[in-house]
Chains A and B, each alone.
Chain A
């Protein structure tokens, strides 16, 4: 640890250590058996469909943080329809309430596309989609099923 330790006996040679006592040996047996049982039970649980995710963080936060499954695929679908650097308005069910989710995910998956605004998707008007204003951002409409439609003002 230090030059000062040169004054301590044992520098440069492996220290003489007492053999592990019976308690340490018993602890090693106990921990090995515990880990073996836990690992087998968890693996069985993991290989089910869907895998059960029951760790503390998973129980507490998974549903909240991962509210839209497969965000990567969703944002890939959105990104593939956008022009480089194009700002967007996201129109989705409860988008305003979930502003934090949409903004954080868009920053992560679409860093080059600033979000100009978020708007709630009105299911009644799906057949008559809103008309984006000329010169404004593209409107990205995301249905509850995860379908994506990008609307731009007629030029």
Chain B
């Protein structure tokens, strides 16, 4: 266990150093920046490693470390950012609630994280999808440094066409060594802590309230996404992490004196490498990121230069994101063995035939979202969505709308897939909705404050 742990610590340290030039160039990073740097560097390395592996190159530990360092090193060398930026983009702390509230929320966060770590330690790795889909790929896809995907054809009842980004990210962290169940638990804990840190920083920057940031992070730690041990060794926590990192980086880019929209573009583009639903989520987040540019585009006729700059900026954001998304789709369609696609057969006819079941499907979704495990999250989100719509709070409304659209996509998927719809919902709806909790929390936090 010591060997793998040492590797994970080494790779994590390198990933943070390699990611910082991308995430927080030349400024003192907050904890969330360190977590975002770690996340972004690992995602980039996973994409490069998969590409190199498919080209037949050997993925030795040294090669994996080089792939981890390469994007950050290139950014550090080529970057021409200002010498000094704001210390860490954190706005000054607000006065609401005062020190007692900050202390209370810090204690709540500490207790929630302590409970989470106790749970990760005491609970076995048991999730079926880990053994049948995600874990088995991480344990078999690298042999002596060579990427081999032929084993996918011999797996029993797996999802052969699911993306390989998460298994490859785990392998980057272990420098190519097949992780044991104990190592998978360590990796899950790392992803969970990174997600909590990123959300805390994102809420802190959106609201300037450390108490709200602590409270949101603490709630995330007790939410089903992190508390339910079913998520251990699966891809929901990574999906939530990359989505939240994208939002943190998009917001940071808005504040930075020198815009580098391709950095959040890289994080957004990695979403379909994690899970298939990451494609829809990535496109929705990309569309929301373009919203602030619309007013400039409308006035582009009046100011030719402003319009050109906006189009350039949009291209610098969308270019890397869409290229990565296309890459994920290309690997799924051209490289991976065809799996039993959820939309197998005449899905349109199936959807029409199931229309009479639509009410039952909605009722089942609603009942799953009203389970006490959520601690009232979806009820509060629904109420605050109405408030945001009434107040027309742009970005907050866009964010909570993305959450609801994604829920609707999961809901409608049950209508069309080859699986029995209610059984399909029972199997996964609760779990995949849990990955949207951090986005919903950030949207709610944005509602609490709005720019003057």
User: A interface vs B, CB < 8 Å?
Assistant: 1-8, 10-25, 27-29, 31-36, 38-40, 42-43, 46-47, 51, 53, 55-58, 60-62, 64-66, 69-72, 99-100, 103-105, 107-108, 111, 114
Given contacts A2-B293, A15-B91, A36-B111, contact A28 B211 (CB under 8 A): yes
Question: Is B451 close to A, CB under 8 A?
Answer: yes
In the complex, A65→B251 CA distance in Å? 41
Q: Which residues of A contact B317 (CB under 8 A)?
A: 1-2
Chain A residues with Cβ under 8 A from B231's Cβ?
57
Q: Known contacts being A19-B96, A35-B219, A38-B222, is A1 close to B123, with CB within 8 Å?
A: no
Q: Is B400 an interface residue (CB 8 A)?
A: no
Complex contact B228–A29 (CB within 8 A): no
The residue in chain A whose Cβ has the minimal distance to the Cβ of B450 is: A18
C-alpha spacing A109/B12, complex, angstroms: 26
Closest to A31 in B: B215
Residue of A21, A51, A58, A107 most packed against chain B (CB within 10 A)? A107
Q: List 20 A-B contacts (CB under 8 A).
A: A1-B313, A3-B316, A5-B254, A5-B259, A6-B309, A7-B306, A14-B255, A32-B101, A32-B105, A32-B215, A35-B109, A35-B218, A55-B224, A55-B227, A57-B431, A62-B126, A62-B230, A64-B128, A71-B131, A103-B156
B401 interface hit (Cβ, 8 Å): no
Given contacts A24-B96, A36-B108, A108-B135, contact A53 B289 (CB under 8 A): no
Q: Which of B248-305 contact A (CB under 8 A)?
A: 250-251, 253-257, 259, 261, 264, 289, 292-293, 296-297
Main secondary structure of the interface of A (DSSP, over half): helix
A4: contacting residue among B95, B115, B306, CB under 8 A: B306
Q: Which residues of B contact A40 (CB under 8 A)?
A: 111, 115
- Asked whether, in the complex, the Cβ of B215 is within 8 Å of the Cβ of A39, the reply is no
Please give, as numbers and ranges, the residues of chain A lying within 8 Å of B362 by CB-CB distance.
none
Q: Tell me the nearest residue of chain A to B264, going by C-beta.
A: A1
Contact A1–B292 (Cβ < 8 Å): yes
| CB of B220 to closest CB in A, whole Å | 10
Q: Please indicate the chain A residues that have their CB under 8 angstroms from the CB of B92 in the complex.
A: 14
Q: Digitize B132-164: 1 where CB-to-A-CB distance is under 8 Å, 0 elsewhere.
A: 100110011000000000010011111000000
Q: Which residue of B lies closest to A18 (CB)?
A: B449
Known: A18-B452, A104-B155. 9 other contacts (CB 8 A): A1-B292, A20-B94, A31-B105, A34-B219, A35-B221, A65-B128, A104-B131, A108-B131, A108-B135
> Is B229's CB within 8 Å of the partner chain A?
yes
CA–CA, A58 to B231, complex, Å?
A: 10
Chain B residues contacting A57 (CB-CB under 8 Å) are 127, 224, 228-231, 430-431
In the complex, A32→B104 CA distance in Å? 7
Interface residues of B in 159-191 (CB under 8 A from A): 180-181
B157, B180, B230, B309: residue with the most chain A Cβ atoms closer than 10 Å: B230
Nearest CB on A from B33, distance (A): 15
Query: Given A4-B309, A27-B215, A35-B219: A11 and B257 within 8 A (CB)?
Result: yes
Whether the pair A103, B101 counts as a contact (CB closer than 8 A) is no
Minimum CB–CB distance from B286 to chain A (whole Å) comes to 11
Alpha-carbon distance A29/B86, docked complex (angstroms)? 30
Distance from A56 Cβ to chain B, minimum over Cβ atoms (Å): 5
CB < 8 Å neighbour of B312 from A1, A3, A108: A3
Smallest beta-carbon distance A126→chain B, Å: 27
Within 8 A of A (CB), among B343-377: 371, 373, 375
| CA A38 to CA B261, docked complex, whole Å | 40
A34 CA to B101 CA in the complex, in Å? Answer: 14
| B3 contacts A by Cβ under 8 Å | no
